[in-house]
Amino acid sequence: SKCLDRMTIDIPDSARIVLFQEEKFKNYYNELHWALNEYDKVRSKIIPVTLMVLRPHLRDMEYKLRPGMITLTWTSMNIDAYKAHIHAGLRRFEELVTNINDIIENRIEKNLKIVSKTLLVDLPDSQSFTVEEFVKMLEKHIAKQSTLLQGKNLEIEFAVRDLVKVISAYKLDGHVEGVSEGEISKLKKHYNHFMYQALLHCAKNSMNALKKRIGSRPVIESTHLIIKQTARTSPVLNRHGVNDISSTSTTTTATVQPFF
């Protein structure tokens, strides 16, 4: 149209109208292109485990974008309203994904790492103990760590509940079906399973630390037998010390109840 106009050749009125609105149409294009890129960027931030429960939210956002792909044209009168609608939807959706990621990373996964790295035994390298002292000292430490584990279990439980609440509270378009109870249940079971794995890792590391400590240096001294670094483990230690601590450690992890 520009070339024809410069050549003083008559152009159709419709083409002239488009020419006069060139800047406005370019602005529409840039803003809509930005909106699509922003949608892809927000979608890429979704943590895989939450993808299924966020399917309705993705469909809701795609429903908001659909008029631009089906009904709107460059001469439509409601393009500005459409832009405002999708920009508001993108802000809400990005806020939802950010809140979900924050809960998972800072309240769930962080606590799961703390649980898995917790040791139920405290074995000073520079001290030796009688069997009775050894058992009492570790029982006291295990009781303290048990309180920590119970607290972390509750923190993770509340975090998962808040996660479900945030996902369920998001207002969807009336044409979009909400999150199914089955998907919510799968999400809860997922983190329940990971809590179990963290506790298992905690107990396993504790038993390995106990085994390593006993096998590396003297940890128990008895009135009848001093365990030497090169000698076999004392039967008294096996029977009265390690078994008691192992039993207490196992009981401690078992007292942490599944939260769903």
For the stretch 47-59, pLDDT in tens is 999 999 999 999 9
- What pLDDT is stored for residue 6 in this prediction? 59
Q: What is the pTM of this model?
A: 0.76
CA 250, 195, 247 angle in degrees (round to 5)?
0
Q: Is 8 left (phi over 0), alpha (psi -120 to 50) or beta?
A: left
Residue with the larger pLDDT of the pair 41 and 241: 41
pLDDT in tens, 69-118: 888 887 788 888 999 999 999 999 999 999 999 999 999 999 999 999 99
| 232: DSSP letter | P
Instruction: Give the mean model confidence (pLDDT) for residues 27-34.
Output: 87
Residue 84, pLDDT score: 92
Please write the tens of the pLDDT for every residue from 150-180: 999 999 999 999 999 999 999 998 889 999 9
In whole angstroms, what is the distance from residue 56 CA to residue 178 CA? 6
Measuring CA to CA, which residue among 111, 101, 203 is closest to residue 153?
A: 111
pLDDT in the model for residue 247: 55
Residue labelled with tokens 């390690």: 242
* Pair 100, 50: CB distance under 8 Å: yes
Could you give the dihedral angle defined by the CA atoms of residues 224, 230, 232 and 238, in that order, rounded to the nearest 10 degrees?
A: 70
Q: What is the pLDDT of residue 104?
A: 97
